[in-house]
Amino acid sequence: GAVVSQHPSRVICKSGTSVKIECRSLDFQATTMFWYRQFPKQSLMLMATSNEGSKATYEQGVEKDKFLINHASLTLSTLTVTSAHPEDSSFYICSAPTSSQGTQYFGPGTRLLVL
């Protein structure tokens, strides 16, 4: 089946620094990708929709200036957490649909710890 990868799998950074997370569709093209965040023992929360060649659309309450999304090609979307704070520590997961919008392939996730 389709594969989505994320890099890095885990990252530790100091408060105030920026962290970039990459999401790649390895064997298919994705004009749209989605970014989710998941806190411990909670469900996934959709943060934004990444659109190739255009601006991302953010869910209500998600700061677009803090979570920068770039969808530079049909196989790569990046999420940059700017000026990270400890409360940004979370599990970040991306996904991409294939032929059907509802059938999405998820990356393995990136665990971010901000000290």
Q: Which is nearer to other proteins, 28 or 91 (CB)?
A: 91
Q: Which of 18, 20, 69 is nearest to 46 (CA)?
A: 69
101 lies in the binding site for other proteins (CB under 8 A): yes
CA 25 to chain centre: 12
CA distances from 105 to 15, 60, 90 (A): 31, 24, 20
8 binds other proteins (CB under 8 A): no
Stretch that binds other proteins, among 42-50, 62-70, 71-79, 80-88 (CB under 8 A): 42-50
Nearer residue to other proteins within complex by CB, 49 or 82: 49
